[in-house]
Chain A
Amino acid sequence: MSLVGVVVFPGSNCEHDVVRALGALGGRAELVWHAETDLSGVDAIVLPGGFAHGDYLRPGALARFSPVMGAVAAFAEAGGPVLGICNGFQVLTEAGLLPGALQKNRGLTFLCQPATLVVASTHSALTRAAHVGDELVVPINHFSGSYVCDDATYLSLVEHDQIVLRYRDNPNGSRGDIAGIANEAGNVVGLMPHPERALDTLLGSADGRVLLEGFLAAADDAAARADLVAAP
């Protein structure tokens, strides 16, 4: 079975939730300390939500220099599935693994509330198990979640089918109602909403399951590829 590494920066706070959520879906996940530089044991990587390095300077600006990020970049370059949730998305944009940036919400307040997401593309490690047009209720929980990019980047995102999730009712002023994007290859995905918080109707919604199940399937595929390469 594949193994997902969940990176813990000092100041991360959703790492236990992600491990628990992946476990509830039958996956296997373990914490990876940000000082780690060898990711050879894992088949997929999650950068979880929180406030890495206190979000000092701006969210993700310091975390991109954590020792683990070199290995994350190499892992992504090699096609390994990488998922950034909330603060993890911010870190991925700061690290240049995804284009654009996240700035303060339109209303200049923190927002913790359910959001209805519309699946815009299934060409990604996160949305591969969903269907275009599916509406998913998944909570958001951020102060800096308004996606911005220049016109050329936006057109490129559209052209290469990299916008994977849009808000139905834009809560934060994101350009193009963007809630989540992928890189061109689809193996690196970032989103502001928290799919791990939408796994159980007891907590309000189970709509995040299809996303994390897709990501676990991507991890399994990566593990199978690794086995193939390792085989004589």
Chain B
Amino acid sequence: MSDEALHRALGLTDDEYALVEGVLARAPNHLELAMFAVMWSEHCSYKSSRLHLRRLPTSAPQVLVGPGENAGVIDAGDGVAIALRIESHNHPSAIEPYQGAATGVGGILRDIFTMGARPLAVMDPLFFGPPDDARARWLVEGVVSGISGYGNSVGVPTIGGELTFDEGYAQNPLVNVLCVGALPRERLVLGRASGEGNLAVLLGSRTGRDGIGGVSVLASAGLSGADGAAALDEQKRPSVQVGDPYEEKRLIEACLALLDEGLVVGIQDLGGAGLTCAASETAARGGVGMDVDVTAVPLREAGMAPWEVMTSESQERMLAIVRPEDLAAVEALCRRWEVRSAVVGRVTAPVLDTAGAPVGMLRVRAGLDGPVLAEAPAAALADEAPLYDRPRARPADLEARLADDPADEPAGDLAAEVLATLVDPAWVYRQYDSQLFLNTVVGPGRDASLLRLAGPGLPESERGFALTTDSNPRWCAIDPRAGTALTLLEAIANLACVGATPAAVVNCLNFGNPEHPEVMWQLSEAVDGLAEACRATGLPVIGGNVSLYNESAGRDIDPTPVLGVLGLLERLVAPPPGWTWRADDTIVLLGPREARPDPFPLAGSLFARRRGRTGGRLPQFDEQALSACRFVAGEVARACAGEATSVAAVHDVGAGGLASALAEMSAASGVGLAWGDPRGHAELFTEAPGRFVVATRDPAALVASATAAGVEVTTLGVAGGDRLVLGETCDLAVAALAERCASALPAALGL
């Protein structure tokens, strides 16, 4: 194969190949070309999105580490820091669901303990096609068992996520994973090399041929899709890595022990682009060079070429930078945990380029002092991928879609509509250990998850933290800017239900093919929407991930920005109120009864989607709704601190609208409610965020305090009886609601 053909096969364009020649001032050899191809892939370099991501606000007083490191880190108080990251593993999961999802979990855990933090919890937002066909079921069962099989064994609880079924994900499912960890503030470490003569020690699994080209072949190109073309995707299966949670568990314990004992000066995980990425990023961040002895890397199989060793994405590996005098102690500690360690390189001083500036060179050698097989500036590999301002175009049908408002849809059978919105994802989350570390106060299946801020090696504390992941592709398909902003509001409302004040945001931007101008427009709009909402709420974005080329057979997914939002509680000694109301509780709606510009917008709702309506006008981002969030968070936080509050139960209005929220609470309580006067079906099914159903035993006190806080209160009725009655045409037995919640998902999956 000629060099020109080779660079294209590796995923580099002709222009990018010319840039590589410019950087090296010569033609690259095959090994160098392979290294540039993985490092300059979309997945590693963010070359299509970086220009836009710069517009996100990233600073706030609590931020210790912002975007660009392995994870974002904030100060949680009491000397404890929290590390947070979100990632996608979409294409691997589409091709090999068990291993794709499993290695997604493994990869993000390494990003967290690389910072010195013990991983405390994982969340998994999942998006599949409708579960009524065999392939979708194979994907659902494979992904869920992959998360369960890896996450449970590695010893990190999975505390929540999202489960979305929509036609748009039938060929290209999305498997995102968020991980949170905590560490004593002073132990924070960064992934950088320093100290000429220090050693680069590879820890963990041996290197094999699995996962070669994962970032370039797999993650940075579209899927072929259905029908005969699926066979092409089958051929990519060797690019999916294979995970070993037992290896990862020992690697976590060994690395945390190395950090505890101060035996490493820097540490970096090997993820996408493998050793090339870990070596070039640590060297580039430290402003130093590194020599890597490719013959010293422990191999899983014989006969691997240097380019395979340097780009393999074999899992469960870390690169530690170690002072020579500490090597024996590092090796002893690794032996205790049965973790393999091998010196594979050393830190070198930067050299001076022709202009006299210091440049850290990454050199791949055969033997530490042997012949040089490849040589390139570490920063050129890690940071100097081309930056693309790809063409953006508003979709041609945008105006028509915005004008196609579902307000004119007839109500239809309201009772059937309510039942259709009810799905308890318990079948999924029962397969996850959600309780390890004795921190989980509110686990999966509720508005947000709530945990004590505690764990092995952390100081005792009464603090708590909450996490939610949110997305709304129905909104974002109509208006990615407004939709993303509303998604943040929805996340803040979810956190409020468990009493948490939001503190930081991470985002996973799942979009289609960036070479399609409409997709780039969606991405740019979503970034602007998130930036605006973050500024309105004072929240920093501390990390993120961009997953592009989510397309199959030429069809892009709907824009799916997933937000992970972390909230904090000062004192967590009692559980929050939850969804359960009692007979004779007064049930109220807290927050603006009417949205703007339309009072009860159905655009982007499940109600509209189920009728094939995908247009209309979204509600505005509402300051009143934000006030309601703050009020509810304050009341619930009082309950969590063991103080009196007038809130006895709370649930925010989300997918399925007010009708669904009332039905879920009614089903959870086993107690009914009659609400006589909803203003038509639109009020029942609008999903404008930042509104809450609250049960109270002291309505006068609640009305007084809410009114004082400027929050609107609408009394819906008094709980009681065994039926949920909404207006004149919707009357459902509470038992039927509970039965539908429990059976919907197993029935849909044919179990």
Name the distance in Å between A214's Cβ and chain B's nearest Cβ. Answer: 20
Whether B338 contacts A14 by the Cβ 8 Å rule is no
Residues in A with CB closer than 8 Å to B572 are 202
Interface: B249 (CB within 8 A): yes
Complex CA distance for A50 and B436, rounded to whole angstroms: 10
Interface: B45 (CB within 8 A): no
Name the distance in Å between B154's Cβ and chain A's nearest Cβ. Answer: 8
Name the contact of A17 in the complex, choosing from B245, B249, B338, B436 (C-beta under 8 A).
B436
Whether B435 contacts A111 by the Cβ 8 Å rule is no
Complex CA distance for A112 and B147, rounded to whole angstroms: 14
Tell me the interface secondary structure of chain A in the complex. Answer: mixed
Complex CA distance for A13 and B157, rounded to whole angstroms: 11
B489-506 interface bits toward A, Cβ cutoff 8 Å, 1 = contact, 0 = none: 000000000000000000
Interface: A40 (CB within 8 A): no
Residues in B with CB closer than 8 Å to A200 are 438
Interface: B155 (CB within 8 A): yes
Whether B430 contacts A109 by the Cβ 8 Å rule is yes
Contact A203-B440, Cβ < 8 Å, known A10-B249, A11-B249, A54-B246 = yes
Interface: A167 (CB within 8 A): no
Interface: B747 (CB within 8 A): no
Whether A56 contacts B431 by the Cβ 8 Å rule is no
Name the distance in Å between B381's Cβ and chain A's nearest Cβ. Answer: 35
A5-40 interface bits toward B, Cβ cutoff 8 Å, 1 = contact, 0 = none: 000001101101100110000000000010000000
Complex CA distance for A203 and B438, rounded to whole angstroms: 7
Interface: A199 (CB within 8 A): yes
Interface: A170 (CB within 8 A): no
Interface: A197 (CB within 8 A): yes
Contact A139-B245, Cβ < 8 Å, known A110-B152, A113-B430 = no
Complex CA distance for A9 and B336, rounded to whole angstroms: 11
Interface: A55 (CB within 8 A): yes
Residues in B with CB closer than 8 Å to A199 are 438
Interface: A51 (CB within 8 A): yes
Interface: B717 (CB within 8 A): no
Residues in B with CB closer than 8 Å to A16 are 437, 455-456
Name the distance in Å between B156's Cβ and chain A's nearest Cβ. Answer: 8
Contact A196-B438, Cβ < 8 Å, known A16-B456, A111-B430 = yes
Contact A112-B432, Cβ < 8 Å, known A10-B337, A16-B437 = yes
B434-450 interface bits toward A, Cβ cutoff 8 Å, 1 = contact, 0 = none: 11111011000000000
Whether B433 contacts A141 by the Cβ 8 Å rule is yes
Interface: A53 (CB within 8 A): yes
Residues in B with CB closer than 8 Å to A110 are 148-149, 152, 430-433
Complex CA distance for A55 and B456, rounded to whole angstroms: 23
Identify which of A13, A53, A109, A194 gathers the most chain B CB atoms within 10 Å of its CB: A13
Whether B436 contacts A202 by the Cβ 8 Å rule is no
Complex CA distance for A20 and B245, rounded to whole angstroms: 24
Interface: B573 (CB within 8 A): yes
Whether B431 contacts A112 by the Cβ 8 Å rule is yes
Residues in B with CB closer than 8 Å to A51 are 152-153, 155, 245-246, 249
Residues in B with CB closer than 8 Å to A55 are 153, 246
Whether B575 contacts A202 by the Cβ 8 Å rule is yes
Contact A202-B456, Cβ < 8 Å, known A10-B249, A110-B431 = no
Q: How many residues of B contact A (CB 8 A)?
A: 34
Complex CA distance for A14 and B336, rounded to whole angstroms: 19
Contact A21-B438, Cβ < 8 Å, known A13-B249, A51-B245, A53-B246 = yes
Whether B435 contacts A201 by the Cβ 8 Å rule is no
Complex CA distance for A203 and B575, rounded to whole angstroms: 8
Name the distance in Å between B463's Cβ and chain A's nearest Cβ. Answer: 13
**Residue of B with least CB distance to A51:** B153
A103-114 interface bits toward B, Cβ cutoff 8 Å, 1 = contact, 0 = none: 000000111110
**Residue of A with least CB distance to B437:** A17
Name the distance in Å between A135's Cβ and chain B's nearest Cβ. Answer: 20
Complex CA distance for A186 and B337, rounded to whole angstroms: 34
Complex CA distance for A14 and B156, rounded to whole angstroms: 10
**Residue of B with least CB distance to A12:** B155
Residues in A with CB closer than 8 Å to B429 are 112
8 A Cβ contacts from A183-232 to B: 194, 196-197, 199-203
Complex CA distance for A192 and B246, rounded to whole angstroms: 21
B453-469 interface bits toward A, Cβ cutoff 8 Å, 1 = contact, 0 = none: 00110000000000000
**Residue of A with least CB distance to B148:** A110
Residues in A with CB closer than 8 Å to B336 are 33
Residues in A with CB closer than 8 Å to B153 are 11, 51, 54-55
**Residue of B with least CB distance to A20:** B438
Whether B246 contacts A112 by the Cβ 8 Å rule is no
Residues in B with CB closer than 8 Å to A17 are 436-438
Whether B430 contacts A56 by the Cβ 8 Å rule is no
Complex CA distance for A20 and B455, rounded to whole angstroms: 10
Name the distance in Å between A212's Cβ and chain B's nearest Cβ. Answer: 13
B561-582 interface bits toward A, Cβ cutoff 8 Å, 1 = contact, 0 = none: 0000000000011110000000
Residues in B with CB closer than 8 Å to A13 are 154-155, 249, 436
Name the distance in Å between B634's Cβ and chain A's nearest Cβ. Answer: 20
Name the contact of B435 in the complex, choosing from A10, A21, A33, A197 (C-beta under 8 A).
A197
Name the distance in Å between B499's Cβ and chain A's nearest Cβ. Answer: 13
Binding site for A on B (CB under 8 A): 145, 148-149, 152-155, 244-246, 249-250, 336-338, 429-438, 440-441, 452, 455-456, 572-575
Binding site for B on A (CB under 8 A): 10-11, 13-14, 16-17, 20-21, 33, 50-51, 53-56, 109-113, 139, 141, 143, 194, 196-197, 199-203
Q: What are 12 sample pairs from A and B whose C-beta atoms fall under 8 A apart?
A: A10-B246, A16-B456, A51-B152, A110-B148, A110-B431, A112-B431, A112-B434, A141-B436, A143-B152, A202-B441, A202-B575, A203-B438
The 8 tightest CB contacts between A and B, nearest first, are A54-B246, A13-B155, A16-B456, A51-B153, A110-B431, A110-B148, A17-B438, A112-B433
Beyond A51-B245, A196-B438, A203-B438, 19 additional contacts (C-beta under 8 Å) are: A10-B246, A10-B337, A11-B153, A13-B249, A13-B436, A17-B436, A20-B438, A21-B438, A53-B246, A109-B145, A109-B148, A111-B430, A111-B431, A113-B430, A141-B436, A197-B438, A202-B441, A203-B440, A203-B441
